[in-house]
Amino acid sequence: MNPRRPDQQWGIHTIYAYICVFTSVLYKLLGFYAISKSVNSFEKNEMCRPGKWLIEAGESIGLDFSNIIHETTNEFYDHCLKRHGNRQIHGKATITDADFKHIPAIVKSPDYAVIGAIRKETLINAYAKIYNGMTYLYFEEVLLSRKNKALR
| SS3 category, 122 | strand
53 sits in the region (left: phi over 0; alpha: psi -120 to 50; else beta) called: alpha
Give pairs for 88-97: CB < 8 Å, separation 24+.
Answer: none
Same domain, 70 and 111: yes
Residue 50 and residue 37 share a domain: no
Residues 12 and 52 in one domain: no
Q: Are 152 and 140 in contact (CB under 8 A)?
A: yes
Both 75 and 17 in a single domain? Answer: no
- What does DSSP assign to residue 93? G
Clarify whether residues 26 and 47 are in a common domain.
Answer: no
Q: Average per-residue pLDDT in the chain? A: 75
- The model's pLDDT over 12-71, given as tens digits with 9 standing for 90+, comes to 555 656 565 666 655 555 555 445 444 557 677 777 888 888 888 888 888 888 888 888
The sign of the CA dihedral 99, 105, 107, 110 is negative
Give pLDDT, residue 33: 45
Are residue 35 and residue 52 in the same domain, yes or no?
no
Shared domain check, 109 and 64: yes
In which domain, by residue range, is 86 found? Answer: 42-151
Q: What is the pLDDT of residue 39?
A: 53
Which range, 19-28, 80-89, 91-100, 113-122, has the best average confidence (pLDDT)?
113-122
Cα separation, 88 vs 48, whole angstroms: 33
Residues 12 and 64 in one domain: no
Task: Say what the pLDDT of residue 19 is.
Answer: 66
pLDDT at 87 over 70: yes
Look at 1 and 94; give whichever has higher pLDDT.
Answer: 94
Both 113 and 73 in one domain: the answer is yes
pLDDT at 15: 61
